[in-house]
Structure formats: C-alpha cells, structure tokens
Copies of this chain bind each other. A is one copy, B any other.
Amino acid sequence: MKEDFMLSCPLPKSDAERVQLAHGGGGRLMQNLIESVFVRQFENPHLIQRHDSAVFEAPPGRLALTTDSYVVKPLFFPGGDIGSLAVNGTINDLAMAGARPLHLSAAFILEEGFLLSDLHQVVESMHRAAQAARVTIVTGDTKVVDKGKGDGLFINTTGVGVLEHGLTIAPSSVQVGDAILVSGDLGRHGIAVMAAREGLDFETTIQSDCAPLAEPISALLNAGIEIHCLRDLTRGGLASALNEIASASLAKIYVEECQIPVEEEVQAACEILGFDPLYVANEGRFVAFVPERLKEKTLSLLREFPICRNASSIGYVADLKGSVVLLKNRIGTERIMDMLSGEQLPRIC
C-alpha cells in the first residue's frame, strides 16, 4: 500500500534541482546559473563579454524600442510556452512599428523553488524562437524572489529594431477609406492557454497561434505596400486593438462579423466557456490598415506565409471624426464593438 502510494507520486526534487534565493545574489551561484543556462543557450559574442551592457553597431535608419513582461499561466501550453511567447511577442511589437527586429534583452524573475529543468526548457525555447526570427539575445538579468512572492517565472524581453523604410506606421497615419485586414483566424492563443490552465479537454487540442510576424510584415514593406497602421491582437483581442486605433486616430471603423475568420473548434470552445472570440488574445495575428487599392495585393502577399494563410479583409475606415468601432453582425444589424472594461482572461501573456 505504502509502496503503491509512493510509486504514484512524482519523486520529490532536491534543492540542487531548484532555484535558490542565492541564485539571485550576485555571487558564484548566480554566475554558475548564468553560464550553465543562459550563456550556454543564447551563446553569442555579446554575452560572452560578460558585461552589463551589450554594445552593437546600429544599422542606418530609425530605431524602435519595445518592452513586454510575460506572466502567462500556465508556463507551458499547446503550441508554445512562456519562452517562445516572450521572444515572439516582443518581436511582433517591433514588427508592428514596421521595424526589423535586431536584438533582445531577457530578464528573469524566478521564484525560489522553481525547477531548474523547467528553466532550461523555457530558455531552450527562447533560443529556438530567437534563431527562427534571426534576432540575438544580447543581454540579460536574473532576480530571485522568496517562495510565495512570485509565481515560478516571469520574463521581460525588450527589443530593438531598425526601420528600413520611410513610412510612419502608426494610428496617426490611418486614412479615410483604408481597408482593414486581419492576418488569420482569431482566438487560438487565449483558448489554448485557458484550456491548459483549467485542464479542459476539447475534441481536438487547440494550439496557440504564437508565432513571429516580422517576416510577413517585411514582405509587405519590400513589395512597397504603403502600410498605414499595424497592431498585433494580443490582450483584449481584435476588439481592443481596433478600439485603441480608433481612439488614437479618431477613426470611425466598420467591421463585418461574417468576414472575421474564427475556426469552428475555437468558436465552439468560446461558446462553452462564454467568451467572445473577438476579445480573446492571439499571439500570431495582426490587423493592417492599408489603402483600399492595395487590399488584394496585400492579402495575396500575406497568404504566401503559412501563419497568414487565412488573411482576410474585414472592414474599412469610414471617417476620421468618430473614434468608434461598428460591427455589422451576421443578420445585418449594427452594434458598437466596445472595449471591455476589464478582461475575459487574466494572465494570458
């Protein structure tokens, strides 16, 4: 009986396999952690210098700077983990400014007792994501907080990118008549994380759409598409992104619900859970505002990338004195697609 019980329990991990407070203390244990986990995975000439700052030559052009902390719960979910999310999320924020991502910093807040094997796995995942997007993780930081004062692992990544074009890609460039495109089907990331968190089983496993978006944006820019505005559809989903742009540009935006791609399995999961897919977070989707005449060309360029194969035109900018998003639903009636006050899903990224 006792043996059965012991067999069914995971073996307790020793202190040596867990993060200790001393790993954050600036002493030898911290140096060992940095060498054995971070420098080994992210190996590059900047990190090997072991200086607090990374120094690099910036290519000519304007630069973009963006930061995000990642507190997603759970750390591992179908289609990704906090590591791939932390790299792709920040790369995507750079891409949304029309910047080519160059370098990332990575800062870790570890909770005492966190499994070093999980840290290894996350760091490996960051390394793979960075390689895939051809960015370098050039500098970092490690802090440890006492048990019960964190939640395993929080990661901050901050990215620097270069703008190699003359456009101002921002809400202030939105124009009357702009076509509004969405780069793919919505709601995967939020539902994947929520299902993993709550231990929900759907008929098929919904995978997060977590992916880097710099390449499709770069393809549009290289083809001379005059992009007016871009935004990735993270926390708060499509509805929040459009409302933010409407509010910053004073645009009156019309969107047709039947044009917005949502996969059946995601729609079904949303109905079960009581979520609206238009408000659910994505991590590999964006909206683009482009001149109407470039709509079809933009769509066909985007659809060449697997991550954007469901790219669709979903609406247009009616005027610049509205600051409102109007949704025409499937039966033809119109309603305001407002910003939520709070959120549907906490700690989704």
Contacts and interface: CB of A to CB of B under 8 A. Distances in A.
Contacts of A146: 346-347
A20 B346 CA distance: 11
A343 B21 contact: yes
Nearest to A160: B65
A26 B139 contact: no
A158 B158 contact: yes
A236 B25 contact: yes
Contacts of A281: 26
A55 B97 contact: yes
Q: How many copies does the complex hold?
A: 2
A342 B68 CA distance: 29
Interface residues of A, number: 83
Contacts of A96: 51-53
A94 B54 CA distance: 9
A270 to B, nearest CB: 17
A172 interface: yes
A8 interface: no
A336 interface: no
A228 interface: no
Given A56-B63, A65-B160, A150 B148 contact: no
Interface of A: 20-31, 49-58, 62-71, 93-94, 96-97, 99, 103, 105-109, 138-141, 143-146, 148-151, 154, 156, 158, 160-161, 163, 170-172, 231-232, 234-237, 240, 244, 248, 281, 339-347
11 contacts: A21-B342, A24-B235, A25-B344, A29-B341, A49-B170, A65-B103, A67-B140, A71-B143, A107-B156, A144-B346, A158-B158
